[in-house]
Structure 1
Amino acid sequence: MSEQAAGREPDAVEALYEEAEQWHVNAGGETIHAKRMPGRWRRIKWLTASVWLIFFLGPYLRWDGRQAVLFDIPHRQYHLFGATVLPQDFWMLSLLLLFFAILLAVATAMAGRVWCGFFCFQTVWTDVFTWIEERLEGPPAERRRLERAPLGLRKVTIRAFKHLVWLAIGFLTGFSFVAWFVDAPTLWRTFFTGQASAAAYVAVALFTVGTYILAGWLREQVCFWLCPYARIQGVMLDRTTVVPAYDFRRGEPRGRLRKDADAAVQGDCVDCHQCVAVCPTGVDIRAGQQEGCITCALCIDACDAVMDKVGRPRGLVRYASLDELDGRATTPMFRRGRVWAYTAILVTALTGIVYGLASLDAIELKVLHERAPLFVRLADGAIQNKYTLKVLNKTGEDIEVRITAEGPAGLRLVGADAPLIARHGEVTPRTLFLRLEPAALSGESVPVRFVASGQRGSGERLRAERDSVFIGP
């Protein structure tokens, strides 16, 4: 290491220590009452949060006479609109989980904890709970006064009503969760008459209490201490990641707005603390990127509003990378190897999922050839092979299936005169025999094909094929 580099390293480390000393982590000793300010990022936050309406409304969407998306665990059937996925097709679930995991990694590498700030259910539910709190108790200053006030009729009434609303939202959350696993209209009919399953009542109770505690009481403490993503996201960022950041070159030295001669050397930051007041986790963005920042960008709205009032350009707090703030050349996203690697995995996983859904058949056929013995010679000289056929019915109705066989001339199928009743969502077996005259054998084995065909109640024709072999002496 050169003497010049050796001389710089202690200064850099010391700067990191000084920055870390400015960080403020609320360990739960105080309740954060964040100020709400209108702005572009607040509107975007509400817009992205509205995606969770799918969670509440999705179970009531109907498709072909049934619930469009239903994870029917007792019957091991998972209905996704027109497709029915059974446990045999659960390899697609692995690809789906891989897809969302890599998508989260891509989002983090490009824009930090953007999931936490705009989409995370903990953040969204907490935002809704605090919005209700503000509607009932007033802005932050009034909430703090009410918090310190002695118990009285007004305080008890307001807070009791607030907690009842919170519990109602928690109940609706739990009920909506269960509705994805039980037919929603049936759940409404059975839940309030005591006829629902014990699992439904337990799940709703756990979600009600969990939502009430996590979003109403713990709030940002979940992000600080309970969320594993908060612990690992730091290693997923680099100097090119775009996050909400304070432009220290432009903002320092900070101080109150002045009009005298000293104002010429003053930075644009007027030290109004509005960026801290609106932060849902109570961090000061001016102290640098830190664990408590969930990149919700509300501090950008607050700072832009102040800059407009004092007649200075916006962007003192903005989405920017460390390279940009340090005046270095920024690396375009398409030149980052990690982004390309993530994208390749995303495309592969998505391609597999699309292929799996597109190739789903309503019925599947499997053929198992009897191994002992491989064949028998009948009294009339014919060769007979034994097979076990298994028909998997992925539809929601029982289907009458007929089995046929294709192969060499003279091939006879025995045991398939009566149709097979394939139960919905189940594997139905049938033992069959194939017979062939020795003269028709062109070798020790010849290819044969079994065909299962049927028809749904709607008139849709179903067909599945499976190749096998006929073995002779």
Structure 2
Amino acid sequence: MSNSPQSKHDAVVDELYAEAIHWKINTGEEKIHAKRIPGTWRALKWIASLVWVPFFLVPYLRWDDRQAILFDIPHRQFHLLGVTILPQDFWMLSLLLLFFAILLAVITALAGRVWCGFFCFQTVWTDVFTWVEEKLEGPPQKRIKLDQGALNFTKLRIKVTKHAIWLVVSALTGISFVAWFIDVYQLWADIFSFNLGITAGVTILLFIGGTYGLAGYLREQTCFWLCPYARIQGVMVDNTTAVPTYDFHRGEPRGRVKKGVKDAERTTGDCVDCNQCVAVCPTGVDIRHGQQEGCITCALCIDACDAVMEKLDRPKGLIRYESLDVLNGKEERPLLKRPRVWIYSLVLLFSLAGIGYGMASLDAIEIKVIHSRQPLYVLQSDGSVQNKYVIKVLNKMTEKLDVTITASGIDGIVVVGTDEPVSARKGMVTPRTVFVRIPRENIKTESQPLTFYAEATDSSGTKLKSERISVFIGPK
């Protein structure tokens, strides 16, 4: 009799409700110890967190004689593989930030706070910290019991080990962040030789404190009270947004499973009030109460509910990714009828087009021509008219270049001061003063366009060119 389907069913019921009393909705008064269970969304959550692996590894990649990607703030340069972007080209950074901001808005409009649930650094680091905590201290009930227990050698050993691992992860986070701004190998050398600069040292310490405090202690409270996205996401979703949703039509009225009562005889909905959806929620909210600012749409409640439904031989999907309109029986509104998504998409395309144009039009060398204002021109003894210019050569390459300056646009032009090439230092602006003389009879108007050219050859033999239009001023 003990192996009958009914007895197995009753055993599942006993197991579900044995721990249900321990799970409570988050009121901010006690620490949340979320339960971990395997499932599809848990696996996807771990896979999504791998987007942060490049944060730790990319600084170690090399390109020629330097770091492949390096934000060199002291020299005001951004090295991206073989391209060096200087402050003059940082307008592309604005478009990049705009792109990611609008992308976040698009994703939120379509599928809620997917960023928060799967990719946010706070969520990912908290997940790692709580995973370490569970490996050392055990499941939630054991962790609570350990926290409430008296201090002894076993508790001290476990706690010290846990916090030591947390600090190591926090330190690696801080060092990895700074490594995007300082050559990583030089950074490690400075750390081990105790020769780390004040700025780098303070930044690493701030990251250690921030990571350790936010992921180790504040955890879900960061999502509730510190993150502004939790406050504004309510205006970014609507009834057509698909989010983890409790199907109240199917689940209500809730009721606990009674032993010996068959499904055909029950008068309650599919929700058995086991609180497993609350137990696995990292922020401790109850998805059955509808969308709340504490819900980060991590979908772990879907795994929990599906596991329970499977044990009770009921259909999965009581909690699922769904929009409110579909849940209420309305037809799903297609993307073609959602103007907001189209507007967001157009802004995304504009940002990408701008970034693409900027990267495609980056010149390895760039010149700026400044016409002297005092005086505008000088009459020479031979009857020619002379203008003075300051040519500023910007070398965006990672090597020194010898740049030749020429000019054209007016007959009889003579350029003085360009006999020797400009020795343009890498990643810097090098000025050169030149004089342009033109026979007076060739000057047709008071102001005529004049084009300056800069040419150089890099170490690989590639010809580099740049030009800038200026004016030549003559007498009336």
Structures share a fold, TM > 0.5?
yes
2:25 and 2:278 in contact (8 A); partners too: no
Counterpart-to-counterpart distance in 1, 2:33 and 2:411: 83
**Amino acid corresponding to residue 27 of structure 2 in structure 1:** N
In the TM superposition, what is the alpha-carbon distance from 1:209 to its structure 2 partner?
1.1
**Higher deviation after alignment, 99-108 or 219-228:** 99-108
1:36 aligned residue: 36
Counterpart-to-counterpart distance in 1, 2:175 and 2:447: 59
**Amino acid corresponding to residue 368 of structure 2 in structure 1:** K
**Amino acid corresponding to residue 287 of structure 1 in structure 2:** H
Counterpart-to-counterpart distance in 2, 1:192 and 1:456: 37
1:70 and 1:80 in contact (8 A); partners too: yes
Counterpart-to-counterpart distance in 1, 2:460 and 2:362: 18
Counterpart-to-counterpart distance in 2, 1:409 and 1:394: 32
Alignment pair present for 1:257 and 2:253: no
Counterpart-to-counterpart distance in 1, 2:297 and 2:474: 71
1:171 aligned residue: 171
1:464 aligned residue: 466
Q: Match of 1:338, SS?
A: helix
2:59 and 2:184 in contact (8 A); partners too: yes
2:109 aligned residue: 109
In the TM superposition, what is the alpha-carbon distance from 1:372 to its structure 2 partner?
3.2
Counterpart-to-counterpart distance in 2, 1:215 and 1:462: 49
Which residue among 413, 420, 424 is the counterpart of 1:422? 424
1:96 aligned residue: 96
**Higher deviation after alignment, 406-415 or 239-248:** 406-415
Which residue among 346, 349, 371 is the counterpart of 1:347? 349
2:396 and 2:427 in contact (8 A); partners too: yes
Counterpart-to-counterpart distance in 2, 1:334 and 1:164: 53
Counterpart-to-counterpart distance in 1, 2:197 and 2:427: 21
Q: Match of 1:396, SS?
A: coil
Counterpart-to-counterpart distance in 2, 1:271 and 1:308: 15
Which residue among 415, 439, 450 is the counterpart of 1:413? 415
Counterpart-to-counterpart distance in 2, 1:370 and 1:209: 54
Q: Match of 1:142, SS?
A: helix
**Higher deviation after alignment, 413-422 or 250-259:** 250-259
Q: Match of 2:266, SS?
A: helix
Alignment pair present for 1:439 and 2:441: yes
Which residue among 335, 338, 349 is the counterpart of 2:337? 335
Counterpart-to-counterpart distance in 2, 1:459 and 1:199: 40
Counterpart-to-counterpart distance in 1, 2:66 and 2:337: 47
Counterpart-to-counterpart distance in 1, 2:402 and 2:94: 33
TM-score, normalising length from structure 2?
A: 0.92
In the TM superposition, what is the alpha-carbon distance from 1:131 to its structure 2 partner?
0.3
In the TM superposition, what is the alpha-carbon distance from 1:202 to its structure 2 partner?
0.7
**Amino acid corresponding to residue 405 of structure 2 in structure 1:** I
1:174 and 1:203 in contact (8 A); partners too: yes
1:25 and 1:292 in contact (8 A); partners too: no
Change (3 A) 1:26 1:63: farther
**Higher deviation after alignment, 406-415 or 172-181:** 406-415
Percent identical among aligned pairs is 62
What are the residue-to-residue correspondences of 1:10-49 with 2, within 5 Å? 24-27=25-28, 29-49=29-49
Counterpart-to-counterpart distance in 1, 2:99 and 2:178: 25
1:124 aligned residue: 124
**Amino acid corresponding to residue 79 of structure 1 in structure 2:** H
Counterpart-to-counterpart distance in 2, 1:146 and 1:118: 29
Counterpart-to-counterpart distance in 2, 1:202 and 1:99: 31
Counterpart-to-counterpart distance in 2, 1:316 and 1:352: 45
In the TM superposition, what is the alpha-carbon distance from 1:24 to its structure 2 partner?
4.0
2:26 and 2:32 in contact (8 A); partners too: no
Counterpart-to-counterpart distance in 2, 1:148 and 1:268: 36
Alignment pair present for 1:220 and 2:220: yes
Change (3 A) 1:294 1:127: same
Alignment pair present for 1:357 and 2:359: yes
1:17 aligned residue: none
Counterpart-to-counterpart distance in 1, 2:125 and 2:431: 49
2:400 aligned residue: 398
2:152 aligned residue: 152
1:365 and 1:391 in contact (8 A); partners too: yes
1:201 aligned residue: 201
Task: Provide the aligned length of Structure 1 versus Structure 2.
Answer: 450
Alignment pair present for 1:62 and 2:65: no
Structure 2: any 5+ residue segments left out of the alignment? 1-23
Q: Match of 1:78, SS?
A: strand
In the TM superposition, what is the alpha-carbon distance from 1:470 to its structure 2 partner?
2.3
1:367 and 1:388 in contact (8 A); partners too: yes
What do residues 384-442 of structure 1 show as CA deviations (whole Å, max 9, x unaligned)? Answer: 11111111111222221111112333211111112211122221111111111122233
Q: Match of 1:127, SS?
A: helix
In the TM superposition, what is the alpha-carbon distance from 1:458 to its structure 2 partner?
3.4
2:450 aligned residue: 448
Counterpart-to-counterpart distance in 1, 2:227 and 2:409: 60
What do residues 263-294 of structure 1 show as CA deviations (whole Å, max 9, x unaligned)? Answer: 33221112111111110011111111111110
**Higher deviation after alignment, 92-101 or 164-173:** 92-101
2:282 aligned residue: 280
Counterpart-to-counterpart distance in 2, 1:49 and 1:144: 27
1:450 and 1:466 in contact (8 A); partners too: yes
Counterpart-to-counterpart distance in 2, 1:176 and 1:26: 35
Counterpart-to-counterpart distance in 2, 1:72 and 1:313: 56
